[in-house]
Amino acid sequence: MDANAFAAAVATQRGYLMRIATLQLRDRASAEDAVQEALVAAFAGREGFDGRSSLRTWLTSILKHKVVDAIRRRQREPLFESSLSEEVDVDDFDGLFRDNGAWDASPAGWGDPEASLGQRQFFDVLELCLERLPPNTARVFVMREVMELDSAEICKELSITTNNLWVILYRARMSLRECLQQRWFGDAARRT
């Protein structure tokens, strides 16, 4: 891919990268710096992009390292457990299950999830669902599932216990499942 085509393709991903960085760093200026550093690194390593992954995946991988560097550089701001636990109460999901732990109403079929992943609209809905999560919950989810940080590093960075991490991830996954069910998969029959 020539330099101009590469630059144009990268430019289409800048908004996505900014959302990820802002969510993690909780500061627009720091997020802009991290994205800028990631883009500079991407242009410097352009020859290393061989197309085996999507451009978005490749750029996110570069951004992940820049965000982690930024988190480590700046003064630590502990994320207190109380602020995380106040965002979403596990009891909010009790209505989804019976006393024996079974689903109260089985989730509707999601059709072919792999086919959905290939559709740009799905990622737009997923981003919308992520934006609807409480900020700290979304931050923890993205650290674990998008940035692929290990549990120990997340716990250390956020000053939370492993148990709290798993509860937060559970809340995030349940909220995302519910949002995707309502906004994407519940409507799958009309899209196919």
Q: What is the pLDDT of residues 15-69, one digit of tens each?
A: 889 988 887 877 788 889 999 999 999 989 888 888 777 888 889 889 988 888 8
**3 state SS of 103:** strand
pLDDT for the residue 113: 64
pLDDT for the residue 170: 92
**Residue 78 pLDDT > 60:** no
Measured torsion, CA atoms of residues 14, 15, 17, 18, in degrees rounded to the nearest 10: 110
pLDDT for the residue 39: 92
Beta carbons of 146 and 20 less than 8 angstroms apart: yes
Beta carbons of 158 and 77 less than 8 angstroms apart: no
List Cβ neighbours of 137 (8 Å cut-off, separation of 6 or more). 84, 87, 88, 168, 171, 172, 175
List Cβ neighbours of 130 (8 Å cut-off, separation of 6 or more). 23, 138, 141, 142, 176
pLDDT for the residue 128: 84
Q: Which CATH number fits domain 1-75: 3.30.60, 1.10.3470, 1.10.1740, 1.10.1200?
A: 1.10.1740
pLDDT for the residue 190: 43
The CATH classification number of 79-192 equals 1.20.140
List Cβ neighbours of 149 (8 Å cut-off, separation of 6 or more). 64, 68, 143, 157
DSSP state string for 121-167: HHHHHHHHHHHHS-HHHHHHHIIIIIS---HHHHHHHHT--HHHHHH
**Residue 189 pLDDT > 50:** no
Tell me the domain boundaries of the chain: 1-75, 79-192
**Residue 145 pLDDT > 50:** yes
Least confident range from 41-55, 62-76, 81-95, 98-112: namely 81-95
Same fold, 1-75 and 79-192: no
Q: Which residue has the higher pLDDT, 46 or 80?
A: 46
What is the C-alpha separation between 129 and 34, in angstroms, rounded?
A: 24
Percentage of the chain with pLDDT > 70?
A: 74
Nearest to 68 by CA among 153, 133, 159: 153
**Residue 82 pLDDT > 80:** no
Q: Which residue has the higher pLDDT, 25 or 191?
A: 25
What is the C-alpha separation between 33 and 67, in angstroms, rounded?
A: 9
Query: With bands split at pLDDT 50, 70 and 90, how would you rate the model's confidence at 191?
Result: very low
